[in-house]
Chain A
Amino acid sequence: EAQVTQNPRYLITVTGKKLTVTCSQNMNHEYMSWYRQDPGLGLRQIYYSMNVEVTDKGDVPEGYKVSRKEKRNFPLILESPSPNQTSLYFCASSLGTSLTEAFFGQGTRLTVV
């Protein structure tokens, strides 16, 4: 089954404690990205990757890092989480064209206290 898998689904952490949210896709997609969803602000892109070893900033990259060492994986790293990063995070993947659909993970609800 084609899918994007995020882990964990829920996470509560403390300010400053480094964390990683994993994202994996099984569709051999080139394009992967991370979004955060906040009430009243909708979904905003954090980082994206057009292929292995190619990453770039989205609209709200501050406080986040990503890596793309393998095609299937695109982890989101918060080196020093802060309360304003409390949000619902989604990973997405798609083929390298706008002619096809994007697939989203189920989301990771992060709370930073």
Chain B
Amino acid sequence: DAKTTQPNSMESNEEEPVHLPCNHSTISGTDYIHWYRQLPSQGPEYVIHGLTSNVNNRMASLAIAEDRKSSTLILHRATLRDAAVYYCILRAAGGTSYGKLTFGQGTILTVHP
């Protein structure tokens, strides 16, 4: 499986934007980039995903580098509720492993009031 690398931790202040980076230099052409987050004492929850183009949804934006070797999850205005572990995950488009999520260590995001 292609691997992702994320910083162990990041900090932000409430109401400020947060940019969470992810490196995936061995990504294959058909891998989708997914982001999940895990709030304390909860299961992971989906945030956003993309293939090549930048993506926006109600939770966040995903900026994907032109060579696809890195991506950035953008939380436009962090709230205390956004404090979580954020995982950047590559998902194969086909084969038998399409459904598998390979979690790395993720980035622990701390949001200060």
| Docked-complex contact A98 and B44, CB < 8 angstroms | no
- Greatest chain A CB density within 10 A among B42, B46, B91, B100 is at B100
Please give, as numbers and ranges, the residues of chain B lying within 8 Å of A33 by CB-CB distance: 99-100
Q: Point out residues on A near B: beta carbons under 8 Å.
A: 4, 31, 33, 35, 42-45, 48, 50, 56, 58, 90, 92, 94, 96-99, 101-107
User: In the complex, are the beta carbons of B98 and A98 less than 8 A apart?
Assistant: yes
Residues of B within 8 A of A99 (CB): 32, 49, 93
Verify A96–B44 contact, CB threshold 8 A: no
Closest to A40 in B: B105
Q: How many CB-defined contacts (below 8 Å) exist between A and B?
A: 62
Cross-chain contact B42 with A107 (CB below 8 angstroms): yes
B99 & A104 in contact (Cβ 8 Å cutoff): no
Which residues on A sit within 8 Å (CB–CB) of B98? Answer: 31, 96-98
Residues of chain B within 8 A (CB-CB) of A43 are 44, 101, 103
List 15 A-B residue pairs with CB atoms under 8 Å apart, sorted by A's residue number: A35-B101, A45-B102, A58-B100, A90-B43, A96-B99, A98-B91, A98-B92, A98-B94, A98-B99, A99-B32, A99-B93, A102-B99, A104-B45, A106-B42, A106-B43
User: In the docked arrangement, what's the CA distance between A43 and B34, Å?
Assistant: 15
